[in-house]
Each structure stands twice: as structure tokens, then as C-alpha cells.
Amino acid sequence: MKKLLALSLALATVAGGVTFAGGKSDSAPKASEKKLITVGYAQVGAESDWRTANTESFKSTFTEANGYKLIFDDAQQKQENQIKAIRNFIQQDVDYIVVAPVVETGWETVLSEAKAAGIPVILSDRQMKLADESLYTCWVGGNFLKEGQDAVLWLNTYVEKNGLKDKDLNVVILQGTIGSSAQVGRTQGELEGLAKNPRYKVLAKQTGEFTQAKGQEVMESFLKAYPKIDVVFAENDNMAFGAIDAIKAVGKKPGKDIIIISFDAVHEAFNRMIAGEINADVECNPLHGPRVAEIIQKLEAGQAVEKIQYVKEDVFDTANAKEMLPTRKY
Ligand code: AHR
């Protein structure tokens, strides 16, 4: 059956999207008689508040009451664990595989196995770099390159408004997991944007693995190596929280002595902006469960889905954090 569906999927490619035949019968079963759609989700891990919100979004969407059976796997930030999980999903003959890939490369073999088994693969959150784009049905997530660019645009405006235009500003970057599309896009956006202003000097960049503990550790080493740091780009909120602790430990004021620009915009980051410890936060929306469910429902109905689906994201700062916090969902 799945092989047939996969063939329909391949044949039904339409401009800018694909269709997937759902194999509906003429006499539709009652809701109570409908077979659950089995979805295997290969999650990155539990490294951050963002990730927790993402997991919760999937778990609360893919419930039996909503017509799904979710098989959830936490890969503990290791690609080999995700590959194992995908192979398990194939063995269990799930209806759909969803992957938030830890890193961009190295997926061809396992995705070819999913394709041969006729199981559609939906990518969510991070992207993959694949020579053969037919190995996945579609992707939904944030535009990481734009997020990096937006972070620098916010800094440019801040510098202008606060009369810092003629000052040299020393910058350090706490990067995410190296090789993840979240890191690759954000770092590229930051470095390209910063390079446009000769007053910005990038002193160092190093991974903090998207975790608070590692973010703190790397920031401590930056503070030891560089006596004058003016700006920190933390490529997620948890690393920013770690950096704040490191900055306080050397008697400096985060957000005042050192400008902190972060990514994700989770609840706690809003509290930190209200407290003046984080200056600005570029949103990365984790609530992909309902988005992936919508994609699956379209595929089940034989409808087209866009191959690449970017989610709209904003930038927040100390000026609007208090007003925005009650509207935030994660
Ligand atoms: O891929 C999204 C990133 O992964 C988020 O910025 C980070 O918090 C998470 O761990």
C-alpha cells in the first residue's frame, strides 16, 4: 500500500509542491472506526527551552484523540541516534516520518531506505543538505539566515540610537551545534551583517552546543581571553542565560556593560529582557506540531504541499518585552 502511495507521490508532483494520494475509500469510515495515522518523530534532544516547547507541541498535537499514534524518539543531540530511530520507524512501518535533523549532512542512505519503504519524510525545524531533494516531501521551520541578519540589523539600529556609531565594538559569538542548519544560517547572517561595518570586530566564535552549561563555560573562557567584550550574539536563549551567569560572575552587568542579542524568544528570555539582561531576542518559533499535522492532513487528502515552508518570526527587545510577554505561547 505504502509503495503505491509513494508512487502516486512521485507522479503527482505539481509546480511548487507535491501531492500525496491518501488512498481514501468510497465509503468513508466513521471517526471512531478510522485507523490512527502513525507518525514517528526523530527529535534532536532536550537541549533547550525551545526544544522542550517543540516536543510539547508534537505531543499535544499527535494524540489518539486527534487520530494519531506518535512514536517519539529523543536522539540526545546525536545524529547516529536519529539514524537508528528512523530505521526503527521504517521497521515499524509507520505512515509518516518526521525529522528535526541534528545536522545538515549525512542523511542520504537512511532517507533512501525510507523512500524504498514508501514512507514519506517530513522535515521540521532544521533543514538537510541533500543532493536528491526527492528524499523528503517538504520542510517547515524558521529562516535561520534571516534570523542572523535580523540580529545584526537590530544592533545597527541600537548603535545608531545610542550614539555608538563612532566606537569600535568587540563582538563574540556563542554558536549552536556546529553543522546544524540553525547554527549555519544564524552564523552566516551574523558574520555577513557584521562585516558590513568596519567598527564591528569579531573577536571569537565557538560552539556552546545550544545548552546553558556549555554557553556559560564558553563565555567564561571568552571573558578570560578578551578583557573588552561589547556584544555577545548567543545563538539560542539557553546559551544566553549561561552567558549572563558568566558575565555576572566577573562583576559586569549583562545588557549594560555587554550587549546581549539572543535567539528563540522563549518565556524566560522575555523575563530577562524585562530585567534588562538581554537586549534583544530574535524569534524562532517551535510550535511546529500543528503545522506538520496540517501537512499530513493535506497529503492524506491528496492535496499539494509547498516543498519549503518558512514560518513568520519577529524581533523583540527591552522596549516591547513587557507588553508582548502575555501574548507569548512558549
Ligand atoms: O533548531 C532550533 C534551535 O535548536 C533553537 O534555537 C535552539 O534553542 C534549539 O536547541
Could you read off the pLDDT of 144-164 as tens digits, one per residue? 999 999 999 999 999 999 999
Q: What is the pLDDT of residue 14?
A: 35
The whole-number average pLDDT for the span 78-105 is 98
Residue 121 Cα to ligand 1 midpoint, Å, equals 20
Say yes or no to pLDDT of 1 above 70. no
Closest C-alpha to 283, from 315, 310, 252:
315
pLDDT, residue 141, reads: 98
Alpha-carbon gap, residue 220 to 250, rounded angstroms: 9
C-alpha of residue 220 to centroid of ligand 1, in Å: 22
C-alpha cell at 269: 528570555
Tell me the C-alpha distance between 178 and 258, whole Å. 24
Q: Which of 5-9, 150-154, 225-229 has the lowest mean pLDDT?
A: 5-9
Among the ranges given (22-26, 88-92, 235-239), the one the predictor scored with the smallest mean pLDDT: 22-26
CA 313 – CA 187 distance, rounded (Å): 17
Q: List all residues 6 or more positions away from 290 whose beta carbon is below 8 Å from its beta carbon.
A: 57, 61
**pLDDT surpasses 50 at 3:** no
Question: How far is ligand 1, taken at its centre, from the CA of residue 212, in Å?
Answer: 12
Looking at the predicted structure, is the pLDDT value of residue 9 above 80? no
Q: Which CATH number fits domain 144-284: 3.90.79.10, 1.10.357.10, 3.40.50.2300, 1.10.10.10?
A: 3.40.50.2300
Residue with CA closest to ligand 1 atom 3: 182
pLDDT of 277 > 60? The answer is yes
Query: What number is the average pLDDT over the span 166-178?
Result: 98
The mean per-residue pLDDT over the stretch 161-190 comes to 98
Mean local confidence (pLDDT), 54-79: 98
- The CATH 3.40.50.2300 portion of the chain extends over 34-141+286-312, 144-284
Q: Which residues contact 320 (CB under 8 A, 6 or more apart)?
A: none
Kindly give, in sequence order, each residue whose CB lies less than 8 Å from that of residue 29, ignoring residues fewer than 6 positions away.
Answer: none
Residue 320 has pLDDT above 80, yes or no: yes
Identify the three-state secondary structure at position 1. coil
Pairing of strands 231-234, 17-19: unpaired
With a cut of 90, say whether residue 99 has pLDDT above it: yes
* Higher local confidence (pLDDT), 23 or 263: 263
Q: Whose CA is nearest to atom 2 of ligand 1?
A: 182
Q: What percent of the chain has pLDDT over 70?
A: 90
Q: Hey, what amino acid is at 156?
A: N
What number does the ligand 1 atom closest to the CA of 238 have? 8
Pocket test for ligand 1, best of 51, 128, 144, 287 (most atoms within 8 A of CB): 51
Mutate which of 50, 150, 263 for ligand 1 pocket (most atoms within 8 A of beta carbon): 50
Element (H, E) at 186: helix 181-194
In ligand 1, which atom is closest to the CA atom of 266? Answer: 8
| Predicted TM-score (pTM) of this structure | 0.92
Q: Return all residues near 57 (Cβ < 8 A) that are at least 6 apart.
A: 286, 287, 288, 289, 290, 330
**Domain 34-141+286-312 in CATH: superfamily?**
Response regulator (3.40.50.2300)
Residue range 272-290: mean pLDDT, rounded: 98
Out of 15-24, 125-134, 233-242, which region has the weakest mean confidence (pLDDT)? 15-24
Distance CA 44, CA 82 (A): 8
Report the pocket of ligand 1 as residue ranges, CB < 6 Å.
47-48, 50-51, 125-126, 182, 210, 236, 263-264, 284
Q: How far is the CA of 135 from the centre of ligand 1 (A)?
A: 24
| pLDDT on residue 22 | 34
- SS3 state at 91: helix
Span 188-198, average pLDDT: 98
| Mean pLDDT of all residues belonging to the chain | 92
Average confidence (pLDDT) over 226-243: 98
Q: Of all atoms in ligand 1, which is nearest to the CA of residue 264? A: 6
Query: Which residue minimizes the CA distance to atom 6 of ligand 1?
Result: 236
Give residue 17's pLDDT: 41
Average pLDDT over residues 194-213: 98
How much is the pLDDT for 4?
Answer: 44
**Ligand 1 atom at shortest distance from the alpha carbon of 182:** 1
pLDDT at 2: 54
pLDDT given for residue 34 in this prediction: 73
